[in-house]
Amino acid sequence: MSHVSHVSHGTAAPRPSVITTARRAALVGATALTAALALAGPASAHAEVEADTPRALATGVTLTFVSEAESDSAGFTELRVVLPEGISPGDVSLDDAPEGWKLTAAGNGYTVAGPALKPGVDAEHSIKVKQLPNARELVFKTVETYSDGEISRWIELPTGGKEPEQPAPVLKLKAAAAGAASLAPSPSASTPTSANASANASADVTRSPTPSAVRAAGDDDGGMPTGAVVGGVAAVVVAVGGGAWWLAGRRRRSAATQS
């Protein structure tokens, strides 16, 4: 009886050209991803507030504000902060700020301004507050002005469960300590008539601008939203990567058939 040997032919190994194509596709994808992250950089900048005693009705509290720089060509010259209900301009005093910067009370908040900071340098300042109001959280709408005249408004609040593109700084507070009581309110400060008045007027934060009006300073994406840019680049990465793998699979099937 004769025995017939059955030889199983495995799938042919990928050819060097296929591997090279796949590697090139991976390189293109990595490059596109890096570009996407670079374009999304300005959107990651934000304004923040912290407190040494984040508790309702706490007294003598130091609030520290940090505005992250968004421009590579201009530095901060002014920050306009709107105080939440329960804190009047007369209740705050400047505790720390960049060299040469001063605080000026203004209507429903205050302005800290001074010599322009270097491009890329964050603006940090601290104020001393007489007493925090009895609330769960405090919102400090902030408007930043750069030396080239660009203005960045961090004044938006969450709506419909969606996070805003330029959220206002929010300080969450713990419940008031037992026995804590409200102090007598301080007189409201009048709006200054100094040179800062015109800057304050241009930095009006009582009206929330449309999304197109809150573009961060330093963005030069031609008006295209950062999300659209990132989405477009991601689509290119998927298309290029998918095309490369489709081509590799086609060549492998062709090689197996020829074998």
Please write the tens of the pLDDT for every residue from 21-79: 555 555 545 554 444 444 434 445 799 999 999 999 999 999 999 999 999 999 999 99
Residue type, 49: V
Look at residue 160 in the predicted model and tell me its pLDDT: 84
User: Is the pLDDT reported for residue 198 higher than 90?
Assistant: no
Range name among 161-165, 169-173, 207-211, 222-226 with the lowest pLDDT average: 207-211
Look at residue 191 in the predicted model and tell me its pLDDT: 42
For 175-237, the DSSP string reads PPPTT--PPPPPPPPPPP-STHHHHHHHT--SSPPPGGGGPPTT--STT--HHHHHHHHHHHH
Question: What is the per-residue pLDDT across 124-168, written as a single tens digit (0 to 9) for each?
Answer: 999 999 999 999 999 999 999 999 999 999 999 988 888 899 999
Question: Could you give the percent of the chain with pLDDT greater than 70?
Answer: 54
pTM over 0.85: no
Token representation of residue 124 = 């940090």
